[in-house]
Structure 1
Amino acid sequence: MARTPDPASELPPAAPRPFWTIARRDSVAGLLFAAPQLGGTLVFVLVPLVLVFWYSLHEWNVLANTFNYTGTRNYQQLLSDATLPSVLLASALFSAGLVVLNMSLALLLAVLLNQKLAGITVFRTLFFSPVVVSLVAWTIVWGFLLQHNGGINGMLGLLGIEGPNWLRTPTTAMLSVIVVQVFKNVGLNMVLFLAALQGVPRELYEAACIDGASRFRQFRRITLPLISPTILLTSIITIVGSLQVFAQIAVLTQGGPGVSTTVLVYYLYQQTFQFHRFGYGSTLAIVLFAIVALLTLAQWQMRRRFVFHEQ
């Protein structure tokens, strides 16, 4: 009995799948678009980080042109550095004061400037303008104002108040540096908060008013939860920025009086470029990187508890 031929066996063989598919083409296009950022991160972040760790294992004397391997000696020196606890305390005080004052004032200004009033744009521009001013110029002007015979004490003298020597007293020096930095960057966080506030649906406030909720209750139950992602973003930016402050300290106080305003970045600068201890300075840079990474990671992990959209 003759077999009936299978129609499928008579079909021509399937054409090979082309290598340059749409999916691969899209992948290559995406990599090309990301290549500048990836290349910049590799060259300016990852490679310097590896080099700094390598330098921290050596003692590099530029003047004597020596580069000797010392192992963990620089890290052991951290434990015996009598100045380091005061430096870390000054860094913690500066960061805590800056974060609390900056974010509180920025949120208050954003709430006030979110009102639909005539001329409100002028005030928004006025409060944001210090952000675009040169940091060094801003700090130099405040340095003149905070001198013992400067503008601040001059205005206090008109009121019959004798002002302190702001930059030469430990307590007032730290407070002065914090206030100068707050006034410089509060406009940036204010703009971020203002954008978040304008994204809150008005219907929620109208429903809360019908239910008899007070202004404070609306702010606590509606505004804060809905802008919590922006609060997380601004807190991370502000904390990281506070740990990297340098120009304000260098121009206003040079770390003094004593070491009351010597934050970690300025201490790193002193050890590296003033005392030419590049190995120990690299070790301090690793400590700074670890502190920033741990604080950022801790804030990111807490987002599920405090950020509304992550719950």
Structure 2
Amino acid sequence: MHEDQAVAGAQVTFWTYRRRDNLVGYLFVAPALLGSLAFVLIPLGLVGWYSLNEWNVLGGTFEFIGAENYQQLLSDEKLRESLVATAWFAAGLVVLNLSLALLLAVLLNQKLRGTTVFRTLFFSPVLVSLVAWTLVWQLMLQPEGSVNGLLGFFGVDGPNWLRGDSTAMVAVIVVQVIKNVGLNMVLFLAALQGVPAPLYEAAKIDGAGAWTRFRRITIPLISPTILLTSIITIVGSLQVFAQIAVLTQGGPGTSTTVLIYYLYQQAFQFHHFGYGATLSVLLFVIVAALTLLQWRMRRKWVLHES
């Protein structure tokens, strides 16, 4: 009897309310932790391991070569060209997307009739399938497509958008901007609606013009949203693949061969899986570095950050 009571007492003592609460909390976060482990941490570790090997799938060989793939990065001329193309694409996309999204948000934040229709119109491309959207634009940007047809109506001879050295990158950037500008527009619109109206009224009384109110009141108060959208847009610009694959296939030449498409070519077209994994590590480092840089610089321009 005494032994049974002692065991029961030990069990009651062990399952305290605090431990039960902790167990419930662990059970709730377990799916997210397991998902992160299975789909983020383990794949990252495998990519790092593959980058140290030369994996020939067709030949069935898997050979450890150490840092040779990383040494190849330093001498790969096509990689330098892809990094330049990536920089041009990211710069053009970020500047156009954020500027246009903020402009649309300011215009649609006005209390005018019909703004709801335009909000829906500008946001609707975000909901369209990416591949379907890109295929439609591929047809529109052909030499005999609707874009050149519209230009011809005004007497302008349109170029071959997707095969011109100076127009292919512009075309890809514009297609991507139109596709996703609605998302940033909605985020900016939500931020603008959170700016207190009395601040604008007080500024008007003090004689501040529209541009001064925008620069001194609007921009500082929505700066956290600007930080969020800039991080999302920059990271997204470094991971754009479908648009390049469908519209230009990296051409003409290597003018639109961005880093992630070059990675795809090395791994899945040329079957250099080890070097493709090395390029994946490089892409991860670039994304992490840019995100960290923006996060560190937020203290200089984001309101209430110190």
TM-score normalised by structure 1 residue count? 0.93
1:148-190 Cα shifts (integer Å, max 9, x gaps)? 1111111111111111111111110000000000000000000
**Residue of structure 2 equivalent to 1:31:** 26
**Residue of structure 2 equivalent to 1:201:** 196
1:178-208 Cα shifts (integer Å, max 9, x gaps)? 0000000000000000011111111111111
User: Displacement of 1:252 after TM fit?
Assistant: 0.2
Q: Pick from 57, 61, 67: which aligns with 1:66?
A: 61
1:1-311 equivalent positions in 2, closer than 5 A: 18-311=13-306
Q: Distance in 1 between matches of 2:192 and 2:112?
A: 16
Classify the secondary structure of the residue corresponding to 2:77: coil
Q: Distance in 2 between matches of 1:118 and 1:34?
A: 46
The 8 Å contact of residues 168 and 256 in structure 1, kept in 2 or not, is answered as yes
Q: Distance in 2 between matches of 1:22 and 1:308?
A: 42
Q: Percent identity?
A: 72
Classify the secondary structure of the residue corresponding to 1:157: helix
The 8 Å contact of residues 272 and 280 in structure 1, kept in 2 or not, is answered as yes
Superposition RMSD in Å? 1.4
Classify the secondary structure of the residue corresponding to 2:166: helix
Aligned residue identity for 1:176: A
User: Displacement of 1:18 after TM fit?
Assistant: 4.1
Q: Distance in 2 between matches of 1:188 and 1:255?
A: 26
The 8 Å contact of residues 177 and 248 in structure 1, kept in 2 or not, is answered as yes
Classify the secondary structure of the residue corresponding to 2:274: helix
Q: Distance in 2 between matches of 1:288 and 1:167?
A: 26
Aligned residue identity for 2:278: T
Aligned residue identity for 1:163: G
Classify the secondary structure of the residue corresponding to 1:223: helix
Aligned residue identity for 1:212: G
Please list every run of 5 or more consecutive structure 2 residues that lacks an aligned counterpart in the other structure. Answer: 1-8
Q: Distance in 1 between matches of 2:267 and 2:242?
A: 16
Q: Distance in 2 between matches of 1:199 and 1:18?
A: 51
Classify the secondary structure of the residue corresponding to 2:73: helix
**Residue of structure 2 equivalent to 1:7:** none
Q: Distance in 2 between matches of 1:64 and 1:154?
A: 50
Decide which moves more: 208-217 or 283-292.
Answer: 208-217
User: Displacement of 1:278 after TM fit?
Assistant: 0.2
Q: Distance in 1 between matches of 2:127 and 2:89?
A: 22
Q: Distance in 2 between matches of 1:217 and 1:287?
A: 42
Decide which moves more: 147-156 or 246-255.
Answer: 147-156
Q: Distance in 1 between matches of 2:20 and 2:207?
A: 58
TM-score normalised by structure 2 residue count? 0.94
Aligned residue pair count: 297
Aligned residue identity for 1:31: Y
Aligned residue identity for 2:157: E
Q: Distance in 2 between matches of 1:119 and 1:18?
A: 66
Aligned residue identity for 2:239: Q
**Residue of structure 1 equivalent to 2:6:** none
Larger Rg: 1
Decide which moves more: 189-198 or 115-124.
Answer: 115-124
Aligned residue identity for 1:76: Q
Please list every run of 5 or more consecutive structure 1 residues that lacks an aligned counterpart in the other structure. Answer: 1-14
Classify the secondary structure of the residue corresponding to 2:59: coil
The 8 Å contact of residues 229 and 309 in structure 1, kept in 2 or not, is answered as no
Q: Distance in 1 between matches of 2:208 and 2:26?
A: 51
